[in-house]
Amino acid sequence: MEMDFERCYRAVDSRDQRFDGWFYTGVTSTGIYCRPSCPATTPKRQNVRFFPSAAAAQGAGLRACRRCRPDATPGSPQWDVRADVVGRAIRLIADGVVDRDGVPGLASRLGYTERHLHRMLSAEMGAGPLALARAQRAQTARILIETTDLGMAEIAFAAGFGSVRQFNDTLREVYASAPSDLRTARGRQQAPAGAGTIALRLAYRPPLHAQALLDFLAARALPGVEEVRDGTYHRGLLLPHGIGQVALTPADGYVAATLRLADLRDLAPAVARCRRLLDLDADPAAVDATLAADPALAPAVAAEPGIRIPRAVDGFELAVRAIIGQQISVTSARTTLTRLLASARVDHEVIANGTGVSRQQLHDHRSEGGPGEAGEGGGAGELGWLRGFLSAEEVLGVPDSGFGMPVGRRETLRGLARAVVDGSVDFAAGVDRAETVRRLLALPGIGPWTANYLAMRAFGDPDVLLSTDLAVRRGAAALGLPATPTTLDGYADRWRPWRSYATIRLWRAA
């Protein structure tokens, strides 16, 4: 949003939660920065400054408010949906690219020089890539301090800091507290969740129609990868440094996440992918206001506010699902995918090529109480070990007999896997959507429906209408809307820029 002082100040004065994450309020008289909805007394106008990011507030010498915890707000919807370089950079930083590859790696992925990237981020975010990554490291460190009994040195390196001294200095600056003081204070917040487990809350902007998300995921859940049970979504994760498992339970105002990770350096990427999966950085008020202006959709919006786009933790996984699901039912696609998974694995404990995790590592992790053990962590013991989906290398290793589908579709999957392995197609959080869609369309067997479906669910494009989709056309007909692709396309202009959300509602209407 534009940093208009009067508009921002009115949001702060009303303690409007809808603006949390859109901007941050700096109070010069106290030296702290807050989220707009902070319950503290509204500061005087002359003592207020507004910042586009927590990193910008920290760069101005302000520390995070301990009462409203501004570093734990939902992400800005603006950066979640923007397809420009700055939006892509923010998503890559959230996924831990700077921690893993440094600023040169981030700049290389985006195709810009480090200097120009720093200039663009500073102009829009008030801070460069290092400062933005540093703010994320501080939040990751605080979570680990408050939810685990790890030593401070372990936490420092797990959070991405280069040294314990840097870790100590940053936390003192950001939170005005030594790391040991944050651990002492955690008794008022929460107790450690148990060995190998991290429990945290993923904030979102209400409303959230959680049941719609769980229903969508449950209908497509694959054995050994994911399961929805008792209002909780469980799934395995393949992360940059190893394996993990998460249990996500929607609650009032947040989603409770219980994570178990083989390598704690994967905390920030795991959180980013879980937020992306449930579309938690969306702005449902803006989406619903636009769609409710259409009399045909208004009753559905009133009955089910806060519908989100079920997205993905792994773009390649979603691409495989989309290709297999072409022109067949959800049930048939699930059966075919289950057969493919079984063919690709000797058993559910084999973590194969391309993941950096061996059978022995998985065995050691389970012996230490990792995912798959009974006890805390969302019932993983009852589910057995849940692992992430197949890697591109694993798909290439499946024999012809393991695909269980027409030859043309099998070769489309292999062509996609080869493109991912050689780097010509990338599903990372910060890819150029338009360019990636163009490259996907160049692959044999991938047409506009598949590419647009991936743009919506894998890349987070908020303005995709799948007008040729049979279920979309059935949903449109059920609501009395034009039901042919051409007429529906024309009618849907009134839903811009949220046609992806309209697509989800049409699916539900069908």
Return the number of other C-beta atoms located less than 10 Å from residue 294's C-beta. 17
Cα dihedral across residues 143, 146, 152, 155: positive or negative: negative
Query: Which residues sit opposite 256 in a β-bridge?
Result: 201, 249
Are the CB atoms for 174 and 63 separated by under 8 Å?
yes
User: How far is 91 from 181, CA to CA, in rounded Å?
Assistant: 31
Q: Is 469 known to be catalytic? A: yes
Characterize the bridge pairing of strands 32-34 and 63-64.
parallel
Return the number of other C-beta atoms located less than 10 Å from residue 383's C-beta. 20
Cα 163 to chain centroid, rounded? 28
**CA 462 vs CA 94, 131, 275, 501: distances in Å:** 19, 28, 15, 7
Which one of 8, 34, 38, 274 is the catalytic residue? 34
Which helix or strand (DSSP H or E) is residue 292 part of? helix 284-292
User: How far is 83 from 430, CA to CA, in rounded Å?
Assistant: 8
Return the number of other C-beta atoms located less than 10 Å from residue 6's C-beta. 8
Query: Which residues sit opposite 245 in a β-bridge?
Result: 236, 260
User: How far is 230 from 208, CA to CA, in rounded Å?
Assistant: 18
User: How far is 334 from 317, CA to CA, in rounded Å?
Assistant: 13
Are the CB atoms for 403 and 410 separated by under 8 Å?
yes
Q: Is 274 known to be catalytic? A: no
Greatest distance between any 2 Cα atoms in the chain: 71
**CA 42 vs CA 25, 36, 64: distances in Å:** 10, 10, 16
User: How far is 137 from 130, CA to CA, in rounded Å?
Assistant: 10
Which one of 71, 279, 288, 469 is the catalytic residue? 469
User: Is 489 exposed, middle or buried (CB count within 10 Å of its CB: 0-12, 13-18, 19+)?
Assistant: middle
Active-site residues, by number, are 34, 469
